[in-house]
Amino acid sequence: MLDTVRLFTRDFDLAKQNSFVSQTTANYSTGEIMAEKVFCNLVTGARLNIKPQAGEKCLFFEASLPKLVYGNSLQELQESDLERCIEAVDSQFKEAGAVLDSGAIERLPVSRLDYCRNIEVQHNIVDYIALLRNCSFGKRNKTNWQTETVLFFNGSQEFTAYNKVLEVKSSKGAAAAGIDPNAPENILRLESRLKSAAVVKRTLQQRRTLAECYNFKVAREKLLTDFDTLVLNVGSQLELSFNSFSSELEYYKRQGRDALGQIEKRYGRDTILAMFQNDTEALQTCLAKHYSRRQVYYILKNYKQHIAERRTPEQRDLLKELRFKLAA
Per DSSP, the residues of 63-115 read EEHHHHHHSSSSSPP-GGGHHHHHHHHHHHHHHHTEE--TT-GGG-BEEEEEE
Distance from first CA to last CA of the chain, Å, rounded? 12
Q: 3-state SS of the chain: helix, strand, coil percent to 5?
A: 40, 25, 35
List, in sequence order, every beta strand (DSSP E) within the chain. Answer: 2-9, 13-14, 21-26, 33-41, 47-53, 56-64, 98-99, 110-120, 140-144, 149-153, 157-163, 187-194
- Angle formed by the axes of helices 216-229 and 313-327, to 10°? 170
Contacts of 265 (CB under 8 A, 6+ apart): none
State if pTM tops 0.85.
no
pLDDT in tens, the chain (328 residues): 899 999 999 999 999 889 899 887 766 666 666 667 899 999 888 999 998 887 789 999 999 999 999 999 999 999 999 999 999 999 999 999 999 988 899 999 999 999 999 999 988 998 888 888 777 666 677 788 788 999 988 778 899 999 999 999 888 778 888 898 889 999 999 999 999 888 888 888 777 899 999 999 999 999 988 888 774 433 332 334 566 677 778 878 888 778 888 888 777 787 788 777 778 888 888 888 888 989 999 998 888 888 777 777 777 788 888 988 998 8
List the one residue out of 326, 322, 276, 316 whose CA is nearest residue 299: 276
pLDDT (0 to 100) of residue 233:
34
Output the CA angle 173-175-176, nearest 5 degrees: 65
CA distance 103 to 87: 10
- Residue-wise burial string across 81-91, b where 16 or more C-beta atoms lie within 10 A, e elsewhere: bbeebbebbbe
| CB-based burial, 31-55: b 16+ in 10 Å, e otherwise | eeeeeeebbbebeebbbbbbeeeee
Most distant pair of Cα atoms in the chain: their distance: 74
Give the pLDDT of residue 240. 43
Q: Enumerate the β-bridge partners of residue 36.
A: 24
Measure the CA angle with vertex 154, ends 58 and 9; round to 5°. Answer: 10
